[in-house]
Amino acid sequence: MTFVHPRDFIRNATRRSPGKTAVISAGEPVSYAALNDLIGALARRLKAAGVGAGDTVALSFPNSLEFVVAFYAAMQVGAVVFPVSPKLTGKELAGLLVDAQADCVIHPKGAPQPLAAFQSAGVRIALQLGFSGSDLLLEPAVLRVRPLAADKPARVRTRYQTVVRQYSSGSTGTPKHMLKTSRNLFHDAWHFAASLGLTEKEVFLGAAPFYHNYGLLSLLTAGYLGATLVVVKQFLPHAVLEHIRKDHVTAWLATPAMLEILADCYLDQTPSLPSLRCCVSSTAPLTKAVFERFHRRFGLPVFQVYGSTESATNTVQKITDYTDETLVGTPMPGIEVQIFDEHFRRLPRGRVGRVGVKAPSACDGYLHNAAASAQTFRAGYVFPGDLGHLDAQGALHVVGRDNVINVGGMKVDALEVERVLNSHPAVAESLVYGSADGNGQKLSAAVVARSGGLTVAELLDHCWARLSDYKLPKVIHIVDTLPRDEHGKIVRKAIEEHVRRPRGSTPEKSLKNS
């Protein structure tokens, strides 16, 4: 295996096969040569606009050709790419731009330009990017929010060139900020491809969001291999089935929620998907029930992949006959998984403890958060917050997780949502938790009002203005108290029973939907 800088993935593939389809976007194929030209053209425009080495370039796009082009163009000028969700509220986006010290924002042509938010976040340049006509002409609109500053703060230097900034939710209530190097990204693409036997012949379905670590992996692996990437802007089951069939998709990095939707959607006739040989599930545990419904309908095996934003993808198992809900697979090539006790001493096989991963795809720590770094990064291992054990064959079993709530593959920090609820003037305190929802978790909240009259509708309005949609509680219970132990500490695990009790039998009352 020879190291290749990710910025060179498309250039190298173009040299090998210029006429090969690199991307299929909105039904239109784009060859590697054309993609390489688009990337080069945007890189020149970025340079001309003053974006250069070490600058942070935020990309706020849904899955699109624009994202692919901007991602590689920013890397080619030596900038650090910072993919962000296009669903973020203005306040959420501004907060991330400030924390990341973003110099430039690129977002879709025609999208609203929240210039005030960009300005207050210290962004120097905002660009709108789009394509028009069959020639895919670049139309970046350069908008200088404020002049280039000569006194830019010193950049954080790492051993390898930093190429991507990412955020991970955590249990501390603050998103954790990570820098990924060229080495991290290369190894993630390489060991993912190697462990699944993927080649340049693959046609990847890019349906998971590219701004997410897992969605970005499909983009990177396709580029590294010189394969084809089918860009899916919005996951809709019938459209996805049509893509798989029509574009002869061979590899799909899916989430359990996506597999569940495909397993359950209405079909008058189950389509045959003979090309799809590598259907991957990650970001959340794949339950036996979902696997069996998906397998029964399509007859396909599923490769379950375990990992984290910090350590990327780490273990894999091919499921054809689901036997064990805790099993997440064996380590990929070049990755070591060990189990540790609470004092970070290694435990023998079979003993349950903290899962630690040593991987060249793992970042070195969190920026500006020494306390969280000390908890998660230790002695060369990443501790993603899972409890598990290794079996006699060296396969990893995960038996428990920390307080982060996994909503359909998106990690939601309960404390972040609680902070927003608590900022409502009529809220005394709140507790956000995950309640069972079919095969996954549903974000729920119990709220103690300062006085009567608080409604669920008011709380939802308050949250809509401050949180992305996936972070919004699906159910809100207004209660008189939260469950506490004899020391006054909130007992999270008792909350579901607490809110379920009939009115009159406990101090809480339901004001929901009032």
- Binding region for another protein (CB under 8 A): 234-238, 257, 261, 264-268, 407-408, 410, 437-438, 442-443, 456-457, 460-461, 463-464, 469-470, 472-475, 477, 512-513
Min dist. Cβ of residue 139 to another protein (A): 24
Min dist. Cβ of residue 400 to another protein (A): 24
Q: Which is nearer to another protein, 268 or 342 (CB)?
A: 268
Q: Which is nearer to another protein, 338 or 468 (CB)?
A: 468
CA-to-CA distance for 365 and 382, rounded, in angstroms?
9
Please, where are the H alpha helices in 104-230?
A: 115-120, 182-196, 213-225
Q: Enter the DSSP assignment of 86.
A: T
Element (H, E) at 288: helix 288-298
Rg (CA), the chain: 23
Q: Which is nearer to another protein, 257 or 316 (CB)?
A: 257
Of the candidates 395, 413, 394, which has an alpha carbon nearest to the alpha carbon of residue 328? 395
Q: Which is nearer to another protein, 139 or 469 (CB)?
A: 469
Q: Which is nearer to another protein, 163 or 410 (CB)?
A: 410
Min dist. Cβ of residue 356 to another protein (A): 31
Of the candidates 416, 458, 340, which has an alpha carbon nearest to the alpha carbon of residue 95? 416
Min dist. Cβ of residue 368 to another protein (A): 29
Q: Which is nearer to another protein, 34 or 205 (CB)?
A: 205
Min dist. Cβ of residue 474 to another protein (A): 5
Q: Which is nearer to another protein, 309 or 439 (CB)?
A: 439
Decide if 387 contacts 399 (C-beta within 8 A): yes
Q: How far lies 211's CA from each of 9, 75, 122, 384, 479, in Å?
A: 18, 15, 22, 20, 37
Min dist. Cβ of residue 509 to another protein (A): 14
Min dist. Cβ of residue 385 to another protein (A): 22
Half-sphere exposure of 53 (CA within 13 A, CB side): 2
CA-to-CA distance for 490 and 476, rounded, in angstroms?
18
Q: Enter the DSSP assignment of 492.
A: G
DSSP, residue by residue, 432-476: EEEEEETTEEEEEEEEEESSTT--HHHHHHHHHTTS-GGGS-SEE
Min dist. Cβ of residue 490 to another protein (A): 21
Min dist. Cβ of residue 86 to another protein (A): 12
Backbone angles phi, psi at 254, to 5 degrees: -105, 170
Contacts of 103 (CB under 8 A, 6+ apart): 51, 55, 56, 57, 79, 123, 124, 125, 152
Decide if 97 contacts 58 (C-beta within 8 A): yes
CA dihedral of 364, 370, 372, 376, whole degrees rounded to 10: 30
Q: Which is nearer to another protein, 185 or 476 (CB)?
A: 476
Min dist. Cβ of residue 316 to another protein (A): 24
CA-to-CA distance for 455 and 100, rounded, in angstroms?
36
Q: Which is nearer to another protein, 257 or 359 (CB)?
A: 257
CA-to-CA distance for 228 and 32, rounded, in angstroms?
9
Decide if 430 contacts 459 (C-beta within 8 A): no
Q: Enter the DSSP assignment of 286.
A: -
Q: Which is nearer to another protein, 7 or 212 (CB)?
A: 212
Decide if 48 contacts 56 (C-beta within 8 A): no
Q: Which is nearer to another protein, 429 or 496 (CB)?
A: 496
Min dist. Cβ of residue 283 to another protein (A): 12
Min dist. Cβ of residue 261 to another protein (A): 5
Backbone angles phi, psi at 332, to 5 degrees: -70, 165
Contacts of 372 (CB under 8 A, 6+ apart): 170, 172, 174, 176, 366
How far, rounded to the nearest angstrom, does the alpha carbon of residue 150 sit from its chain's CA centroid?
Answer: 34
How far, rounded to the nearest angstrom, does the alpha carbon of residue 474 sit from its chain's CA centroid?
Answer: 21
Q: Which is nearer to another protein, 160 or 470 (CB)?
A: 470
Q: Which is nearer to another protein, 37 or 437 (CB)?
A: 437
Min dist. Cβ of residue 43 to another protein (A): 32
Decide if 381 contacts 356 (C-beta within 8 A): yes
